[in-house]
Structure 1
């Protein structure tokens, strides 16, 4: 299935995400505490610095940790916290080597159900339930990976016509809709968060 992702908002970075399941997984891993475009451009930046035609889980897992951290830290950095994220990327790749023979596609290739796939994604280093559900929704909505019950397993991110996450971004317009949704969530969270009050120290008599 030929797909074209628009998550990095950069043609070359998006082309890598579209053809490389490992790049998509790494982009999802990096997508925290930084803008989405920065996160999903990360795999392409890593590939440029490593050299070669594609990302390889075995190569990344076997890379010297200090050198790999330096590679991600070089300006422009791949993440706001390049050192810690370098470690997580290598942990993810090592897990893929240990459990899926280094083949990212094998994570979902023979998943028997949406719940099965969610469980596999949730076990990946750096993937909690929310990240696993978002990536599951991305697989279903844009990669055509749709085991039985995938929408239900993806929770609200699997809803048809929603604009909640990267799974729903197919271009600039949908990107703006997802951003608006997230901004509204932040505003709502601020309204419901009680303000902290500082108790005044008793006045000495």
Structure 2
């Protein structure tokens, strides 16, 4: 995996996301209750604080939880640094246990979009929506296109949509995704009245 992503809107953070499957998964895990760019800068911040050029699932899984959580603070990697540090370690432990620490193995040999979606949903911290968004990112930007991937990704897999991080290729598409999310929130709020 070595592609150019624009999710963090920061060249160094985006370069890590484009070459490191674990960084991409970690950014997706962090993408909740914070701005998208902040979430996807997180993997680079963690790698820098570890003194590494990349993230290593074995290293993170084996770290003392308090020591790893301390890496997520000041300035915080996430709005909830302690709980997200715990989730990142859970993700890394799962990857070590099920994929020998190789994050790319989650999707490398998936025979279908349905199978890949199931694998993503099995990851700690990944519910259906997050799994579908990541599946769409894999298909739209990372060249991972098993049969039926668009259908398995649901609306996030639609060509030409601007619903999620899967559709961000630069500042203009980021603005369009933000506008879509604001419209969806407004519609949900109006429906509750």
Q: Deviations over 1:159-183 (max 9, x none)?
A: 0000000000000110010000000
Distance 1:172 1:156 in 2: 22
The equivalent residue for 2:25 is: 25
Residue 105 of structure 2 is aligned to residue 102 of structure 1? no
2:72 is paired with a residue whose SS is: helix
1:146 is paired with a residue whose SS is: coil
The equivalent residue for 2:79 is: 80
The equivalent residue for 2:56 is: 56
Distance 1:129 1:190 in 2: 22
Rg (Cα) greater in structure = 1
State the Cα distance separating 1:70 from its structure 2 match: 1.0
The equivalent residue for 1:117 is: 116
Distance 2:22 2:166 in 1: 16
State the Cα distance separating 1:3 from its structure 2 match: 1.4
- Provide TM-score, normalisation by structure 2: 0.99
State the Cα distance separating 1:53 from its structure 2 match: 2.2
State the Cα distance separating 1:12 from its structure 2 match: 0.4
- Provide TM-score, normalisation by structure 1: 0.93
Distance 2:53 2:72 in 1: 18
Q: Deviations over 1:6-47 (max 9, x none)?
A: 000000000000000000000000000000000000000000
What count of residue pairs does the alignment treat as equivalent?
193
Distance 1:29 1:137 in 2: 15
Distance 2:103 2:156 in 1: 22
2:5 is paired with a residue whose SS is: coil
CA RMSD of aligned residues (A): 0.7
Is there any run of 5+ residues in structure 2 with no aligned partner, and where?
A: none
1:132 is paired with a residue whose SS is: helix
Is there any run of 5+ residues in structure 1 with no aligned partner, and where?
A: 195-205
